[in-house]
Each structure stands twice: as structure tokens, then as C-alpha cells.
Structure 1
Amino acid sequence: MPESSRLNGSSSGVQLDFVEREATPRELMRLSIQLHLSELSISNTVSVLERLGIKRARSTIHNWVQKANLQPTTGSQPDHVALDETVIQLDDQRYWLYAAVDPETNKFLHVKFYPTRTTALTEMFLSELREKHDVQDAVFLVDSAPWLKAALHHLGLRFRYEKHGNRNAVERLFKEIKRRTTQFGNCFRNADPATAETWLQSYAYCWNQLI
């Protein structure tokens, strides 16, 4: 994504239903969440708030992102779905980020975090995807991973092996996620899997809003 586009878009879609007693104006909370998810480190987000006359701790920004619990919106009916998974490191532990992407719009449809990759977990991911979107008639674009093909076959979903082409959509988004999570040095250091998953789902929501 070009540098100039990462901070465009409105933050008005960020819901703050979790807010009860918070002194920070809601629009600045929304802006802080969007700035952090789209480009800035938490420290730099704190600096932006300070320039606006608001002093908040790094942990406060982190808690806003976690409590907002953002998710990619539902209700899409894509013709194709690029499906893949990639490794995300939490300290010395490897986890797997599954993602389904609409290659026509370059938007995330669903993301989920698992401690391993198996056919059973892939079926779980696909079942959640079907609950959120109308993908029954979509063609899934996959690589040679046997667990992806086996799960799609078992659920009666159409798929096609595609090394490049439209399946590159999910590879591009994985590349951007890895750039974002390593840019400020071990973004998920000391994070538990649930915290990392919430951040990644929130990132997917933000990406969808900005493209």
C-alpha cells in the first residue's frame, strides 16, 4: 500500500461501545486506534495525542485497540476467495494466521489465529467464513497445502490451485502484515495469542476501511 494512502479514510466506523468513563474525546480515541493500526507505533500515536494536548500512556492506546474488538465486516458474496495461512511469531512460539481475501476488492473476509495448521482447524476456519459471508458458490484459490484442499473438499467447496494470479492478493496482504508487525521490533513480544489475534483482526478491519 502506498505510504500516502495508509492514513486516509474515516475513523468514524470504529465503534466505542466499551467506553464508559473515559476523559479522552471519542473522536481522538477513534483517530488513535486508526493511526496505530494503519501505520504508527503506539509510542508515536502517544506523541500525536500529546501534540493535540492529550497525554495518555502507551498501555491506554493498547487497551483501546483491544477493547474495540474490531472485525472485518460481514455479508460479502465474492466470486473468488484467496485462502492461505502464514507464520506469526509470538516470542519464541510459532502461530498460524489464516486469512481469506476477496481478490477483486483486496479486502480481508476473515482472519483467525491458530497454534498449528491442520485439516480440522481449516474446516473450522471455513465454517466461520461461511457464517459471515456467502461463499458457497465461490471458487477458492489455494496453493499446494494438503490441509487446505482436504478441508475444502470435505465441506463441498470448489477450489483451484493457483500459484500466482488472483491468489497473490492474500500473499500481498500477508507481506503487509509482516511489515507492520516487525517494523517496530517484535510487536507481539510478551503478548498472549488472544491479544495478538485481536490486534490482527483489528488490523484487517482497518485495512478494509482504508483501501
Structure 2
Amino acid sequence: MKARQVIEEILNKVFKRHRFPVSLKAEAVILYFKGLSLRTVREFLLHKGYEVSIEAIREWYHAVGKALQAIYTIAVWVYVDETKVKVRDRTYYLWLAVDEKGLPVFMHLSRRRDSWTAKLVLYNTKAKGCTTDKGPWYMSAVKELAMEWLHETFGKRNVVERWFFYIKHRIKRFYKRFPWNAKYETVYRWLASFIVIYTIMNLKS
């Protein structure tokens, strides 16, 4: 099944009624995911004869993020890392755990980076062991969870760092940060949607 068809299925499940064709919504979502601004996507749809608001396109994109748990995979060993996400005058932390192929196992957005949050993330992976960097927040977390643990700077942990490269590359379209008025829930939904779509686009042909 092609990536666009998968996204259409997700949109069909989220929206009971469709003012616009589902195929059009999926196309708009993919274009925005690939880097076009909401305004540019709106103009593209207008040229096709559909007058769609920017807020509607944003809603379609965020709707895809509701399938986040459906794409999670199960792994005995996970690769975990976290990165800063700037929003207004605040800093959030995106935590991501993936398997050896780079498939998402668990994602979390927090307001702090500490051992309690690391423990929450590692616990939700349900994995036997993990590979992380030498962040001190991981040390006590793996000890409390009695997990096997390897720490390294490069190597296989690149499978999770690659995710952050793609995410930050896309965020640069926002001038390196989210819009000044973005709330926590908005940032979470955007990141969840990106992870879902990126996974679908790279697994489906």
C-alpha cells in the first residue's frame, strides 16, 4: 500500500465527514511534511480549484499524529536520545526511542530533562536494554528499572540521532523554532504527526 493511501486511511478514521476529498487532504499533508509552508500549500490547493483555510490544513496535518501509537514497534533493545525544542522563551525536550532499524518505539515531549523523565521514557519502551549517550539522567533511570545499558557517543545510536537531524531540518522552515504562540499541545501534535508521516513515507512505496 502506498504512503498516500495509508495517510488517507488515517484521515478517514479521524474525520467522519469530508468537505474536501480525502486524497486532496493527504496530498496537502504530504506537501506540508516535505517542507512547504501552510500558505504555499493553501495556494497550491487554490490553483486546483479548492479554497481551503490554513487552519484546515494544519488540522489535517495534526490529525495524522493521532496514529502515533499505531506505528510504534516492539523491540528488545532500544536506542534512546533527547534533543531541545525551542518554543518562544521556553525549552522543551523531545525524547525518542527507536529500534535498530530506526523505527519508533516511544516518543515523549517534556518540560524538563532529568532522571525521572528518562525513567518514564525507558519504562514505556518495554525493552530489556538500551543504548544512550552518557547523560547523567540515564544512569539512575536504568539502575532503577534494572535495564541492561550501553552508552556510546556514535555507533549504532546514530539511528535515533538521524531522526533529530530530519526533525530539526524541517523545523528550520519555522526559522529554527516553532511560531512564538505555539502551545505545548501544538508542539506535541506537530512532532507526533511528523514522526507518523516520516515513518509511513519511509516504509511505504
TM (norm. structure 2) is 0.86
Matches within 5 A, 1:6-21: 10-14=3-7, 15-16=10-11, 17-21=13-17
Aligned to 1:94: 91
Per-residue deviation, 1:48: 2.5
For structure 1, the 5+ residue unaligned runs are 1-8
Aligned to 2:143: 153
- Structure 2: how far apart are the matches of 1:74 and 1:170? 16
- Structure 2: how far apart are the matches of 1:168 and 1:184? 25
Aligned to 2:201: 210
Matches within 5 A, 1:44-63: 44-63=40-59
CA contact (8 A) 1:66 1:198 kept: yes
- Structure 2: how far apart are the matches of 1:188 and 1:84? 24
CA contact (8 A) 2:132 2:157 kept: yes
Aligned to 1:116: 112
In the alignment, residue 97 of structure 1 is paired with which amino acid? Answer: L
Q: How many residues align?
A: 196
CA 1:205–1:72: 2 relative to 1, 3 Å: farther
CA 1:176–1:36: 2 relative to 1, 3 Å: same
Structure with greater helix share of residues: 2
CA 1:108–1:39: 2 relative to 1, 3 Å: farther
In the alignment, residue 165 of structure 1 is paired with which amino acid? Answer: G
Per-residue deviation, 1:140: 1.1
Matched, 1:177 2:174: no
For structure 2, the 5+ residue unaligned runs are none
- Structure 2: how far apart are the matches of 1:10 and 1:107? 16
Aligned to 2:153: 163
- Structure 2: how far apart are the matches of 1:189 and 1:119? 29
CA contact (8 A) 1:33 1:65 kept: yes
Percent identical among aligned pairs is 23
Deviation by residue 1:159-190 (Cα, 9 ceiling, x = unmatched)? 10111111112112112111111223233431
Deviation by residue 1:111-156 (Cα, 9 ceiling, x = unmatched)? 11100011111222223322xxxx23xx311111111222122112
1:187 is aligned, of 165, 178, 183, to 178
Matches within 5 A, 1:107-146: 107-130=103-126, 135-136=127-128, 139-146=129-136
The Cα RMSD (Å) is 1.9
Aligned to 2:79: 82
- Structure 2: how far apart are the matches of 1:31 and 1:111? 25
